[in-house]
């Protein structure tokens, strides 16, 4: 638009910039913990929050669970009599979806984490499950969950 009698000058220049794709997932530096004082189903563990610090949406899922426990056997769902067994699943919740992965039989489902500049750039994971008993003192168990992510 022209204004008669005026000369307008500006140091602003219009330019197009291309942002390169960047993906980074941030995991807490703490283990997920749970305890079950009696046999039976137990409430979910405290949340373990995984964040997308990148600028593109990511699909994320657990890819493996390692079980090195000798005292309590990890099973998919059904318990055998007179054995100490546990059935565990990883419950993931995003702003738009949720899914349960069985520790003994992980499926291929993923959850989407939005980029860092959104309010849905995280997923909360919890452990839930069922313990067969019998109660013969504290049974410490340890599992390593490996995650994979892709665009």
> pLDDT tens, 24-72?
999 998 888 887 778 888 888 889 999 999 999 999 999 999 998 888 8
Q: How far does CA 140 lie from the centroid of its chain?
A: 23
pTM assigned to the model: 0.83
In the numeric block, which tokens belong to residue 17?
């910039």
- What is the tens place of the pLDDT at every residue in 84-136? 899 999 999 999 999 999 999 999 999 999 999 999 999 999 999 998 887 77
- The C-alpha atoms of residue 92 and residue 47 are separated, in whole angstroms, by 9
Can you list the positions of beta strands (E) in the chain? 25-26, 40-42, 48-52, 58-67, 73-74, 85-93, 98-102, 111-113, 122-131, 143-150
The answer to whether residues 62 and 140 touch, using CB atoms and an 8 Å cutoff, is no
């Amino acid at each position: 638009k022209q204004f008669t009698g005026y000369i307008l000058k500006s140091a602003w220049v219009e330019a197009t910039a291309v942002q390169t794709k960047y993906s980074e997932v941030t995991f807490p530096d703490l283990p997920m913990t749970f305890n079950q004082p009696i046999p039976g189903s137990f409430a979910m563990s405290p949340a373990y929050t995984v964040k997308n610090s990148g600028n593109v949406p990511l699909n994320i899922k657990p890819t493996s669970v390692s079980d090195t426990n000798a005292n309590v056997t990890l099973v998919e769902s059904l318990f055998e009599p007179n054995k100490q067994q546990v059935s565990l699943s990883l419950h993931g919740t995003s702003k738009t979806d949720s899914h349960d992965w069985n520790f003994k039989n992980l499926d291929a489902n993923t959850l989407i984490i939005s980029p860092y500049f959104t309010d849905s750039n995280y997923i909360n994971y919890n452990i839930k499950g069922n313990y067969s008993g019998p109660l013969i003192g504290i049974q410490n168990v340890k599992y390593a969950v490996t995650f994979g992510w892709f665009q």
